[in-house]
Structure 1
Amino acid sequence: MYKLNFDAAVFTDSSTLGVGVMIRNAGSQVMAALSSKGNAVMDSEEAGVLACRRALEFAIEVGFSDLIVEGDNSNVIRSIVSTQADWSRLGNLYEDIRCLAGRLRLVEFRAIRRAANRVAHSLARFARNLREEVVWLEEDPPPMLEALYVDSCSLSI
């Protein structure tokens, strides 16, 4: 199983969204990462849903099929795993995520603390000045090196 972390950052000054995604193996090595910029969103829930959808699309694009998907917006994670119909304005996006998850062999969604999602958040913030999506494969992206260091220190305690 690989661990996929995703996060979103909303840039109100430019009316854009930043998405950060990181996929790590069981040894916490970075297998793939993404920093992407998107259009304006109405609120943090929409930002989180769009970030999760892009994260799953990215994981499928680069060939991952067994994932633990982690995000720090517990409302988004709760809505994704819900079995009840969602008639809200974001219902179709949640359904997109469930359809994408159905293309994976194994998938589990988990809500985590914001502090445990620093790396994905740093990638989302990095998107502020991007003109196009940036992908790193099997390398540590420079925008998240400090967050990776902090994460590795907390893992070894």
Structure 2
Amino acid sequence: MYWSVWFSRNRLVHEGINPVIDEFVSFIETYIQEQVALGQVYTSPNVSYESSWQAPCRSVVKFNFDAAFDPSSRSATTGVIGQNSLGLIVATCSFPHRSVADAFVAKAYACRQAVLYAKELSFSRVIVEGDSSSVIKKLNSDISDRSIICPIVHYIKFLSRDFSSVSFCFARRGANNTTHILTQEFRNHPSPCYWLEDASATVMAASELDRRRLAQPQVL
């Protein structure tokens, strides 16, 4: 939770925005509720049971995605972080969306953004990972349905043909926390942001914590 305090401090120092106590408390309460809900996830063959981020194999880049959805404005911010086998960030981006139907669609947009970003950067072997079990399940299924994200899923599968190797994997929120932090930090940013081998200070700090956990045994 310390990162949320640090984020508020950065907004005050760099943007002159004073934190509103009620909003700050509400943000923390929402975050805690989301963490409590970690155990209520769909189980599939692609589930990663680790509670923290796991590095991909050598020569593979893992792109984690997430989305922050605002139902009052029907807007969303998608975030993507690409990391290599050492846990080092190779690419990061956040992207604002308008007229988003719901959080389900926002997650699908985030996955699409991850695939597009990996393709634009010419990576050939990738893992695309997020904490939306429904989106991942549809991407790993050959069955076409009439869900609201069906066109997005078809487009993602079309883009995926350009990779020599691509996997779509589900991970618990704890394993996707750094990308979650990214979407929360930039949820009110009006324009896209892109970084190569870099990210905001808050995201870099969270990523470094993930790296430190790589050598530690997992508690299941």
Q: After TM superposition, is the score higher than 0.5?
A: yes
Q: Which residue of 2 aligns with 1:120?
A: 179
Does the CA-based 8 Å contact 2:86-2:211 persist in structure 1? Answer: no
Structure scoring higher RCO (CA < 8 A, sep ≥ 6) equals 1
Moved more, 82-91 or 142-151: 142-151
Q: Which has the higher strand share?
A: 1
| Alignment check: 8 A CA contact 1:56 1:100 kept | yes
Report the Cα distance in structure 2 between the residues aligned to 1:91 and 1:14, rounded to whole angstroms.
23
- Report if the CA contact (8 A) 1:3-1:70 is conserved: yes
Partner residue, 1:144: 203
The offset of 1:138, in angstroms, is 1.1
TM-score, normalised via structure 1 length: 0.92
Is 2:187 the partner of 1:131?
no
Query: Number of paired residues?
Result: 157
Amino acid at match of 1:7: D
> Contact between 1:5 and 1:117, CA under 8 Å: does it hold in 2?
yes
**1:21 alignment partner, SS class:** strand
Which letter maps to 1:132?
Answer: S
Which segment drifts farther, 49-58 or 135-144?
A: 135-144
| Identity value in percent | 33
Q: SS of the residue aligned with 2:78?
A: strand
Instruction: Kindly indicate whether residue 51 of structure 2 is the aligned counterpart of residue 6 of structure 1.
Output: no
SS in 1 for 2:167: strand
Point out the structure with max Rg over C-alpha: 2
Which aligned pairs between 1:4-153 and structure 2 lie closer than 5 A? Answer: 4-153=63-212
The DSSP-based 3-state class of the residue aligned with 2:186 is helix
Structure 1, unmatched stretches of 5+, are none
TM norm structure 2: 0.67
What is the aligned partner in structure 1 of residue 37 from structure 2?
Answer: none
